[in-house]
Structure 1
Amino acid sequence: MMASPALFTASRSQTLTYLLAVCPFSIAFLVFINSSISFVVTDLIGLQHGEGDAVGTLGFADELLALVACPLWGVLSDRIGVRHVCTAGYAILALALVVFVQATNVYPQLLLGRLLFSVGGSAVSTMVTAVLPTVTGRADPQANRESVSSELTITPERARNGQHAPGTSASPSARLSGFVGTCAGCGALVALSVFLPLAARFEKIGLSPAQAIQRSYYVVAAVALIISLVCFVGLRDLPGERSKSWSALWKSDSCEDDEDEDSFVDYPKLSYWKQLSTALTLGFRNRSIGLGYIGGFVARASSVGISLFIPLAVNHYYRTSGLCHEEREPLPGSGLGDIKKACPRAYIVASILTGSSQLVALIAAPAFGYLTDKSRRYNFPLLSAALVGIIGYVIFACLPSPQFEKPDGSLWVFMVMALLGISQIGAIVCSLAVLSNGILRVSIDDEALRKLHEERCANGDENEPDEDQSLLGGSVNRRLEHLSHLKGSIAGVYSLYGGVGILLLTKVGGLLFDVLSSSTPFFIMAGFNGVLLTTGIICGSMNHFGFEISR
């Protein structure tokens, strides 16, 4: 994994902090609270009826707040730096986990605790995307300056179309994104195998169920606090982040000298609203970034399609087929926890199917990172993941039975689950890589912009130059000038797209699951992958023919 450290601008310790702390635990704490929240509601709060509705409402409120919080954290990271946002995010998660188990009622106490968790979770999940281009920037600035000078001397079209010099052909973002996917999957395994059994272990030593749940949350909160400290130390002095601090919240661009040689390139010159609106519109003006946004939409929706709707579909099949002999029926919208109580056979089958899917995804993640590095112009791995997703979701929706045991089942269902896992991890890894490459590709003009800035300051003119002042002057300069400052904002919008994907699939898919067919959510997911495939083909064709969107 660290065989080629020269490919990364970050140090070994910074890269390891990102891979082993930021990536896995951004998922681990979310999986833990989602898996244990039903026990908090029933065993700690003591709610006997309507726990399914309470859990669903808390989850929906979490996602709604995340839609707002993710872009805001992204914009903030462009001012104060990704290190401070990661540190604050995990500290907030630690506080939220402690506050969560102090609640004595669902509304408003448990709701406020879940919203606080959403604020911290939004910060760390957004930083998984924002740190990637920071860690995998160009390793040789001098060589890069020469290649930039060569490119810009010829024509700015080459810069906009991503035609790099031979020395800049490596794509460490694509390679590292594969390991990001693997580490995120390992984080989910940590939550399920280490965090979640804590309550049962505390019960075995004599604590009551309520005390055991509280104690387990305290332990996990302590881990979150440790990860916060690790991020504070491990992400110190990241490349391009030295000029960012809390004091930058109130600073503006000027022509004054700065001790940090990277301050011009990294210093935010846009208002907060302009940062966010620019990141949003970049999805329509830059092919790589737009494709990354849509990939993030599909990736997050895929996670819900596998973790939520496959268990519900299995449970629905068992109930409608008369294969559940337990007296108690699951509460509406109660999720996997009550499926386990109402129909253990369905729970076992659902667990095996989703587990096999996630295992395949975990194994395939590095391969997608490697393949994405080899096909950055046409994004064939991302297109393949979308195509596999279309095939997999359509086949699963048409299966007569989700069972894998005869006489009614077939082992072919595992092949279908493998396709779904490949599609999910392909969308995650490839969208991260495409987005990061898009950010770094447009940032090749940093050196030219630095010279332009110095010329403007020397002439006492801080306004936009005429087009004959510089090759990157005028409209071209306005197009490219601020992208190197918007890594966090772009990451926030990426998370925003993912949140919209989750809400859309859960609400529309859940409604149609009840009123139309249990197969509907999977056809919706096939449609999402179809949109991604179509968009990818269009972007690849535009790259092939050198067509440029008007900016």
Structure 2
Amino acid sequence: MAMASSPALFTASRGQTLTYLLAVCPFSIAFLVFINSSVSFVVTDLIGLHDGEGNAVGTLGFADELLALAACPLWGVLSDRIGVRHVCAIGYAIIAVALVLFVQATNVYPQLLLGRLLFSLGGSAVSTMVTAVLPTVTGKALRDQAYRASVSSELTITPARLNGLQNGHHPDGAATRASPSARLSGFVGLFAGCGALVSLGVFLPLPARFEKIGLSPAEAIRRSYYLVAAVAMIISLISFIGLRNLSEEEGKGWRALWSHHSGQHADDQDDDDEAFHGQERMPYWKQLTTALLLGFRNRSIALGYMGGFVARASSVAISLFIPLAVNHYYRVSGLCNEDHEPMPNSGLGDIKKACPRAYILASILTGVSQLIALLAAPAFGYLTDKSRRYNVPLLVAAFVGVVGYLAFGFLPNPQFKGPDGNAGVFVVMALLGISQIGAIVCSLAVLSNGILQVGVDDDALRKIYAEQGVDRQGAHIHNGHSGEGENQPLLAHSVDHRLQHLSHLKGSIAGVYSLYGGAGILILTKAGGSLFDVLSSGTPFYIMAVFNGILLVTGLVCGILNARSKGVSG
């Protein structure tokens, strides 16, 4: 039975699923890695700024994150009106235009800054859609399973079936208990990581390859940006074509952008669809405030938001502060033989120039971390599906993060060879990679399950059956009518309505999820960067240990509340 129903885990068409996994997910990361890694070369080789380069790069990055903080929720709210497909296509098109304009700049302020802000606008759109598309791809499968289970429960209520429901197990097998979002989220993490590899292995070597054929450094950088911009435009077209006719996206489009009246596009739909479309047309501000408030009222969504906060902060801790800590160790230990010191707040490019040995070590350490993360991503997706009530994989990831970041902060030195080296640093880096990918995959899965109203409680069908008298009245109230006919399956209607309840807000919720992630980045970079100089080089990692500790406590509290809910319902 489970094998027969496994293909239904991805009820989006094969083309839609492949578009999501092979285009939307990896390239949302690939273009960001490319611009972050190459911006210093644009500043020095293209614009010709050599004094204050570090400050310019830092300011551009800070402005990017600040705009993304505001733009992500707005893109999410907009996608609830016009659809995730349009926002994906627009986002990648904006990235393409921004990359072209970026290398037309002749000064840092305002031209390069405006180009980076335009890129941030497109990047925030596609990163938010990575989260928003996930429940869209898998939501129909979940409701179809619930529909079949509820019809079966109503038509054939046997003692064995009733006992199974009362114990939180459905006798029809694992198919009704599978969480498509949890399993797919593991692949989302895997392909997003592959996007970074595409950038490092294909995009970033482009300037050097163009220089080999005789172009000047400035022209090589320009041509590289043009080529990457062309790829971004191709991905925009692929998203526009490949994400057509997604489930739950009916009635969304440019007309809905200005519509504030409920149900106006549901003339030929049934009453349940009318209620659904009516919710989609709630005012923009109410969509956003509702998504924010859900973080305090829905345990799964709250845990997902907190996981997103830690996940995004983890990516910065590994990509920024580990190289910075390695460089700091080499400088204070006198291991750099170069004549000049790196500038404050400079990126990896300057570390590479000032202290190649530190750059090599930082690259090895971060590479090990990301490799372990890629390998662990599918496993976290699978395990999250098996522990939806207590979210054990997320708790494990948070605990591993506490241990790993504390261990790295207390390391006497980051070297793995030599008289003072210790190969145990690789174990620490593996822990950091596991923590990062665990937070990413599990937070996406928990959030998506919260949107689809599963995972909080595996006893949903049992509770609906036990409360069918209440559900009958509730369905009547929510749907605004009383005549669905004697043959309409009551439980099917109740389950379907319950599981759809937050689907109309998936974009807004995804936007707030990205907002939490952006806040995590800003807090860590600002507080961690300042305390790095004032206190010690281990401070950013102690902060990350605290973040993971908060996530661990939040997850434990949610698990306890879920267990109590099960006990009360039992």
Q: Once the 2 structures are TM-superposed, how far is the Cα of residue 325 of structure 1 from its aligned partner?
A: 1.2
What's 1:364 paired with? 376
- Mapping of residues 504-519 of structure 1, within 5 Å: 504-519=523-538
Aligned to 2:39: 37
Q: Which residue of 1 aligns with 2:247?
A: 239
Indicate the residue corresponding to 1:275 in structure 2: 287
- Cα deviation for residue 269 of structure 1 reads 3.2
From 231, 236, 245, the counterpart of 1:228: 236
Q: 1:173: which partner in 2?
A: 181
1:372-423 Cα offsets, whole Å, 9 max, x none, are 0111110000000000000001111111110011201111100100000000
Corresponding residue for 2:192?
184
| Distance (Å, rounded) in 2 between the aligned partners of 1:23 and 1:529 | 25
Q: Deviations over 1:337-392 (max 9, x none)?
A: 11111111101100000001000001110010011011111000000000000000
- Relative to structure 1, the CA distance from residue 301 to residue 142 in structure 2 (aligned partners, 3 Å threshold; closer, same or farther) is closer
Does the CA contact (< 8 Å) of 2:72 and 2:515 recur in 1?
Answer: yes
**Aligned with residue 207 of structure 1, among 208, 215, 222:** 215
Contact 1:265 / 1:450 at 8 angstroms: preserved in 2? no
Cα distance in 2 for partners of 1:76, 1:91 equals 16
In the TM superposition, residue 75 of structure 1 has moved relative to its aligned partner by 0.3
**Following TM superposition, by how much is the alpha carbon of 1:457 offset from its aligned partner in structure 2, in angstroms?**
9.6
Aligned to 1:421: 433
Pair 1:354-2:363 in alignment: no
CA offsets 1:214-241 (integer angstroms, 9 cap, x no match)? 0000000000000000001100000010
- Counterpart of 2:133 in structure 1 is 131
Distance 1:177 1:417, change over 3 A: same
1:307 and 2:326 correspond: no
Partner of residue 161, structure 2: none
Change in CA separation of 1:87 and 1:371 when aligned onto 2, cut-off 3 Å: same
Correspondence for 2:147: 145
Q: Distance in 1 between matches of 2:411 and 2:94?
A: 44
Q: CA deviation at 1:144?
A: 2.4
C-alpha deviation, 1:257, in angstroms: 4.5
Q: Does 1:437 align with 2:449?
A: yes
Quote the offset at 1:482 in angstroms: 5.3
Give me the whole-angstrom Cα distance separating, in 1, the residues matched to 2:5 and 2:503.
27
- Contact 2:211–2:217 at 8 Å: present in 1 too? yes
SS at match of 1:401: coil
CA distance in 1 between partners of 2:33 and 2:94 (Å): 16
Cα RMSD (Å) of the superposition? Answer: 3.1
Offset from partner CA, 1:434-465 (integer Å, 9 cap, x none): 00011111699999888656544989xxxxxx
For the residues of structure 1 that align with 2:142 and 2:219, how far apart are their CA atoms?
55
SS in 2 for 1:538: helix
CA separation of 1:237 and 1:488: change in aligned 2, threshold 3 A: same
CA distance in 2, matches of 1:142, 1:118: 38
The structure-2 alpha-carbon separation of the partners of 1:256 and 1:311, relative to structure 1 and needing over 3 Å to count, comes to: closer
> Equivalent residue of 1:486, what SS?
helix
The structure 2 residue matched to 1:327, chosen from 339, 356, 370, is 339
Distance 1:398 1:275, change over 3 A: same
Residues in 2 aligned to 1:186 and 1:226: alpha-carbon distance in whole angstroms? 18
In structure 1, the residue matched to 2:468 is: none
Counterpart selection for 1:60 from 59, 62, 68: 62
Identify the residue that residue 256 of structure 2 maps to in structure 1. 248
- Give the letter aligned to residue 21 of structure 1: A
Moved more, 251-260 or 6-15: 251-260
Shift of 1:164: 8.2
Q: 2:429 & 2:364 partners in 1: Cα distance?
A: 10
- Selected match of 1:286 from 291, 298, 307: 298
Asked if 1:97 corresponds to 2:103, the answer is no
Aligned to 1:316: 328
Aligned to 1:532: 551
CA contact (8 A) 1:264 1:450 kept: no
Cα 1:326–1:83 shift into 2, 3 Å? same
Tell me the CA shift for residue 6 of structure 1.
1.2
What is the TM-score of this pair, normalised by structure 1?
0.90
Instruction: Give the match's secondary structure for 1:488.
Output: helix
Answer yes or no: is the 8 Å Cα contact 1:90–1:227 preserved in 2. Answer: yes
Match of 1:86 in 2: 88
Structure 2 unaligned segments of length 5 or more: list them: 158-166, 465-470, 485-489, 492-496
**Larger displacement relative to structure 2 (332-341 or 5-14):** 5-14
Task: Specify the SS of the correspondent of 2:30.
Answer: helix
One-letter identity of the residue aligned with 1:274: K
* AA at the equivalent of 1:517: S
- Deviations 1:229-259, CA, capped at 9 Å, x for gaps: 0001100000010211111112221377434
Give 1:114's match in structure 2, choosing from 116, 123, 127: 116
How far apart are the structure 2 equivalents of 1:108 and 1:457?
61
Partner residue in 2 for 1:5: 7
Deviation at 1:138, TM superposition (A): 3.4
Q: How many residues align?
A: 530
Query: Is residue 2:221 matched to residue 1:198?
Result: no
> Which residue in 1 is equivalent to 2:164?
none
> Offset of 1:148 from its aligned partner?
5.4
Q: Contact conserved, 2:263 with 2:277, CA < 8 A, in 1?
A: no
- Between the aligned partners of 1:538 and 1:296, the Cα distance in structure 2 is 17
Identity fraction in percent: 73
> Which letter does structure 2 place at the counterpart of 1:280?
L
* Separation in structure 2 between the aligned mates of residue 124 and residue 229 of structure 1, nearest angstrom: 13
2:421 is the counterpart of 1:409: yes
The 2-side partners of 1:86 and 1:145 are apart by 30
Say whether the 8 Å CA contact 1:442–1:483 is kept in structure 2. Answer: no
Paired position in structure 1 for 2:21: 19
Give the C-alpha shift of residue 5 in structure 1: 2.8
Could you tell me how far apart the structure 1 residues matched to 2:52 and 2:12 are? 49
Cα displacement string for residues 460-498 of structure 1 (whole angstroms, at most 9, x for unaligned residues): xxxxxxxxxx99xxxxxx999852210000000000000
Query: Quick one: distance in 2 between partners of 1:432 and 1:78?
Result: 18
Distance 1:495 1:348 in 2: 32
Q: Give per-residue Cα distances to partners, 1:95-136, cap 9 Å, x unaligned.
A: 000010000000000000000000000000000000000001
TM-score (norm 2): 0.87
Deviations 1:283-334 (CA, angstroms, capped at 9, x unpaired): 1100000000000000000000000000000000000001111001000001
Q: Conserved in 2, the CA contact under 8 Å of 1:240 and 1:266?
A: no
